[in-house]
Amino acid sequence: MTTRFQQLFNIWSSHIPLVSAMGIELHENDHDWYLEAPLEPNSNHMGTGFGGSIASLATLAGWAQTWMLLPSPEDVHIVIARSSVRYLKPATGSLVATADAPDQRDIKRFLNRLEQRERGSIELDTHVHSNGVAVATFSGKFVATLKADGEP
């Protein structure tokens, strides 16, 4: 895992207990990254993927994508401002979430607003698959704000 992804995962592990409870792992290869969570402990009473786990994993994928866009993510707080999930099919295996790369104009606008106004937002789409089948799509607005001096 690259240093940047390790830093992100360390923040999640120490500040977001759900990451550990869901068994989320961050994977990367030469050109891409994805989040994965095992079906167990993320299943519902029917033995398929629990909707809350699917939504959480999709949100974290968008959060990670936002983090990766930032030149100095350690100086920024990221929160979700709005989201929508569409469940397509039952998840019968591990949950795998990926985020779409945003348009370069959207990235530039996001970073310019963050630099000029100390706050910027970006709309992102993520996808959750299980056993190679699309089980959910997610759209969210992520907001980044610069931390005040000395703020954790």
Just give the CATH number of 3-146.
Answer: 3.10.129.10
Q: What pTM was computed for the model?
A: 0.94
Confidence label for 95 from pLDDT (cuts 50, 70 and 90): very high
Strand order across the 76-87 sheet: 25-28, 33-37, 95-99, 119-130, 133-146, 76-87
Tell me the CB-side half-sphere exposure of residue 121, using CA atoms within 13 A: 10
**pLDDT for residue 57:** 98
| In the chain, domain spans | 3-146
Question: What is the rounded CA–CA span in Å between residue 19 and residue 31?
Answer: 24
Segment 22-49, tens digit of pLDDT: 999 999 887 789 999 999 999 999 999 9
For residue 127, is it left (φ>0), alpha (ψ between -120 and 50) or beta? Answer: beta
**pLDDT for residue 1:** 62
